[in-house]
Amino acid sequence: MNLKLKIWRQKDAHDKGRFEEYHVENVSEGSSFLEMLDILNNNLIHEGKEPIAFDHDCREGICGMCSLFIDGRAHGPDDDVTTCQLHMRKFKDGDTITIEPWRSKAFPVIKDLVVDRSAYDKILQAGGYVSVNTGGVPDANAIPIPKKNADESMDAAACIGCGACVATCKNGSAMLFVAARVSSLALLPQGKVEAARRAKAMVAKMDELGFGGCTNTGACEAECPKGISIAHIARLNREFLCAKLKD
């Protein structure tokens, strides 16, 4: 297939940036979106031009490194997949595809399509962990956990921190990310101990970093490559409000 691409180019964080048009030819329908960009970058290198910078790592849909806002949607037109798992068969020969970086005040563009997502790390550092004291390792089966809780916790823990929720939310809210982290830990006995402090610290950090507020549109859930439910946001609200009321 032959495609026309409109891609955001930006030299560095201070550059104003602009869209540039590219053409790629003979792209296999079986190749992934990132492989298509690899082909384009190979051509650009052969022409002596600067290749397009974009984030990628495992290319197996589990690391959360790839991003891209493709034709107006986070991770492109396919559901429940990351950009690396998006195949070119989802597009038609002759299509024009617009590719933009995640747009958020908290995720500044570093270069071209690469954004700085360290804001997520800062939120995690604020409370997205379980404190473990030194000593012998307890027997995993000694603490009974209801199957329902374990399942729900694992569903939330599926978050790969890619940032699609922030990118797609009309308010640039990080609530689904924070909710997934708070929920996955609060549901388990090991995480429950610090649940109140965690919810307060992570929400405070999220607000401080310039993310918007949640207005329950549900777009994050629809675009999340791991299909994490906004029901976890309700749990975060509950955890946060209960913790604050006890203060």
Q: What is the binding site for other proteins (CB under 8 A)?
A: 6, 19, 69, 71-73, 98, 100, 103-106, 152, 168, 170-173, 203-204, 206-207, 210-219, 222-223, 229-231, 233-242, 244-245, 247
Minimum distance from residue 137 beta carbon to other proteins (Å): 33
Strands 96-100 and 69-70 come out as antiparallel
Minimum distance from residue 151 beta carbon to other proteins (Å): 10
Q: Residue 155 is encoded by which pair of tokens?
A: 């569903």
Residue partners of 16: CB distance under 8 A and separation at least 6? 10
In the bound state with other proteins, the residue whose beta carbon lies nearer, of 6 and 122, is 6
Percent of residues in the chain assigned helix, strand, coil, to nearest 5: 40, 15, 45
In the bound state with other proteins, the residue whose beta carbon lies nearer, of 55 and 211, is 211
Say if residues 161 and 107 touch (Cβ distance below 8 Å): no
> What single letter denotes the amino acid at residue 76?
G
Minimum distance from residue 229 beta carbon to other proteins (Å): 6
In the bound state with other proteins, the residue whose beta carbon lies nearer, of 19 and 58, is 19
Enclosing H/E stretch for 21:
strand 18-24
Minimum distance from residue 102 beta carbon to other proteins (Å): 10
In the bound state with other proteins, the residue whose beta carbon lies nearer, of 37 and 107, is 107
Angle 110-115-120 from CA coordinates, rounded to 5°: 125
| Burial degree of 243 (CB within 10 A; 0-12, 13-18, 19+) | middle
Minimum distance from residue 93 beta carbon to other proteins (Å): 20
In the bound state with other proteins, the residue whose beta carbon lies nearer, of 43 and 237, is 237
From residue 165, how far is each of 11, 138, 214 by CA, in Å?
26, 36, 11
Minimum distance from residue 188 beta carbon to other proteins (Å): 17
Enclosing H/E stretch for 246:
helix 231-246
In the bound state with other proteins, the residue whose beta carbon lies nearer, of 57 and 207, is 207
